[in-house]
C-alpha cells in the first residue's frame, strides 16, 4: 500500500471516497459504478486506476468486464487513515444517496439472475448449461460414497469401482472374463488401490461369503446373465442386513443385433418384470424407474432399480 502521504492525497478527492465506500461491501463492475455515481466511464476508470496503483482496490477480470472491490486494509497508519476517512462520511447525504442507488443496482442484478432461472425452469438438464454435465455430477456424487464394503457384479474393467474405491472401505469386482480381471488388477495396482479387489467369478455364483458387503451393484450386467433371478438372489445372499442392491440396465427393447454386437442374453427388461424379480429375491422397498433415454436409434432407455435387504 502507498505511504500515508500518498493516501492522504488520494482521500482528498470526494469521488474516490465515494468509490471506496461503495466497494467496501460489494464487488462492482465499472458499469455498475457508472450507474450509481452517475459519471462517465473514463472518469471512473481514471480514479480506479489510481486507487489500484495505491493498492486500495483490486480488480478481477471476467470476460470483457472488470469487477472491483476494496482491498484488505492493513493495520498500519495508511490503513487506519482509510478506515477513518470512510467512517467520517457514513452519515453524509451524498453517501446515503449512493447507498440507495447501489441497492437498486444490486436488486436489478438479482432480478436479472432470477429472470434467467425462471426462463429455464423445468428445462435444466435438457439444454446445454456450461459446466453442467452428467459426468461432472457423477464425480460430485461419488464423493458422497460412505466407507462401506461394495461389490460390483459383472464389473468388467471396473471403471465405476475405481472411482468408488477412492472413498469406500473395500470394493470387490467380480467378472467371468480372465482378461477383464487381469486388466482391472493391473489398473488397481497402477492407481495404488489396495482396497480394490478383482476376482474371477460368475454373478450367478458369486465368490463371496454370506452377508459380506453393504452394497451390491449390477451396472449393465444383468442382461448378460443366463438366469437374472439367480443373480439377484446371489446379490441378496452376500448383502448384510440393511444392505442395498443397485441395478442399472436397459429397458425392454427390440434391437436384436445387441445379442451379436454386445453378447447380450436379454433384450433388456420391462419395469414390471424387474420389479417382480427383485421382490422375489427377498428385497424390500423396491423402486424401478427409467432414468435416461438415448436420443438416437435404437433409442435405448436405462432403468435404475433399487432394493433393500431386511435389517
pLDDT tens digit sequence for 126-156: 666 677 677 777 778 888 889 999 999 999 8
Distance CA 50, CA 52 (A): 5
The enclosing domain of 214 has a CATH number of 3.40.50.150
Let me know if 298 is exposed, middle or buried by CB neighbors in 10 A (0-12, 13-18, 19+): exposed
Question: Given this model, what pLDDT does residue 78 score?
Answer: 83
**At which of 93, 120, 147 does a domain end?**
120
Question: Given this model, what pLDDT does residue 269 score?
Answer: 95
Kindly write down the DSSP assignment for every residue of 81-116, as one continuous string.
HHHHHHHHTTT-HHHHHHHHHHHHHHHHHHHHHHHH
Same domain, 26 and 87: yes
- And the C-alpha cell for 235? 446379490
Is residue 238 in some structural domain?
yes
Is residue 85 in some structural domain?
yes
Same domain, 223 and 78: no
pTM for this entry: 0.62
Same domain, 53 and 193: no
**Residue 13, Cα to own-chain centre: how many angstroms?**
47
**At which of 60, 95, 120 does a domain end?**
120
Is residue 129 in some structural domain?
no
Is residue 65 in some structural domain?
yes
User: 203: closest CA among 184, 243, 240, 175?
Assistant: 175
Distance CA 157, CA 175 (A): 9
The enclosing domain of 40 has a CATH number of 1.10.10.10
Same domain, 171 and 244: yes
Is residue 125 in some structural domain?
no
Same domain, 151 and 276: yes
Same domain, 247 and 180: yes
Same domain, 66 and 108: yes
Q: Is the peptide bond before 177 cis (omega within 30 degrees of 0)?
A: no
Question: Given this model, what pLDDT does residue 4 score?
Answer: 82
Residue 84: which domain range? 4-120
Same domain, 212 and 263: yes
Same domain, 163 and 298: yes
Same domain, 57 and 164: no
Is residue 127 in some structural domain?
no
Is residue 200 in some structural domain?
yes
Same domain, 163 and 105: no
Same domain, 138 and 109: no
> What are the residue ranges in the chain where pLDDT is below 70?
116-129, 132
**Number of structural domains the chain divides into:** 2
Is residue 126 in some structural domain?
no
**At which of 120, 155, 176 does a domain end?**
120
Question: Given this model, what pLDDT does residue 144 score?
Answer: 86
Amino acid at each position: 500500500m502507498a505511504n500515508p502521504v500518498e493516501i492522504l492525497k488520494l482521500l482528498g478527492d470526494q469521488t474516490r471516497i465515494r468509490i471506496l465506500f461503495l466497494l467496501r461491501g460489494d464487488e462492482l463492475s465499472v458499469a455498475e459504478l457508472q450507474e450509481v455515481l452517475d459519471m462517465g466511464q473514463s472518469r471512473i476508470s481514471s480514479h480506479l486506476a489510481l486507487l489500484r496503483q495505491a493498492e486500495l482496490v483490486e480488480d478481477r477480470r471476467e470476460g470483457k468486464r472488470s469487477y472491483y472491490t476494496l482491498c484488505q486494509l492493513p493495520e498500519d497508519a495508511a490503513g487506519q487513515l482509510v478506515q477513518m476517512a470512510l467512517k467520517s462520511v457514513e452519515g453524509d447525504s451524498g453517501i446515503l444517496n449512493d447507498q440507495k442507488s447501489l441497492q437498486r443496482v444490486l436488486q436489478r442484478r438479482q432480478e436479472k439472475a432470477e429472470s434467467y432461472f425462471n426462463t429455464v425452469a423445468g428445462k435444466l438438464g435438457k439444454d446445454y448449461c456450461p459446466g453442467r454435465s452428467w459426468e461432472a455430477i457423477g464425480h460430485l456424487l461419488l464423493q458422497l460414497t460412505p466407507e462401506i464394503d461394495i461389490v460390483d457384479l459383472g464389473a468388467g474393467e471396473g471403471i465405476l469401482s475405481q472411482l468408488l474405491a477412492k472413498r469406500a472401505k473395500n470394493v470387490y469386482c467380480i467378472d467371468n472374463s480372465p482378461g477383464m480381471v487381469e486388466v482391472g488388477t493391473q489398473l488397481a495396482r497402477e492407481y495404488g488401490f489396495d482396497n480394490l479387489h478383482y476376482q474371477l467369478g460368475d454373478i450367478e455364483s458369486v465368490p463371496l461369503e454370506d452377508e459380506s458387503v453393504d452394497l451390491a451393484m449390477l451396472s449393465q450386467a444383468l442382461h448378460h446373465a443366463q438366469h437374472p433371478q439367480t443373480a439377484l438372489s446371489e446379490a441378496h445372499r452376500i448383502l448384510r442386513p440393511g444392505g442395498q442392491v443397485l441395478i442399472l440396465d436397459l429397458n425392454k427393447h427390440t434391437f436384436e443385433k445387441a445379442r451379436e454386437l454386445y453378447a447380450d442374453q436379454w433384450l433388456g427388461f420391462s419395469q414390471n418384470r424387474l420389479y417382480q424379480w427383485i421382490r422375489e429375491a427377498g428385497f424390500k422397498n423396491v423402486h424401478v424407474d427409467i432414468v435416461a433415454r438415448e436420443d438416437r436409434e435404437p433409442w435405448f432407455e436405462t432403468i435404475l432399480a433399487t432394493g433393500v435387504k431386511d435389517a
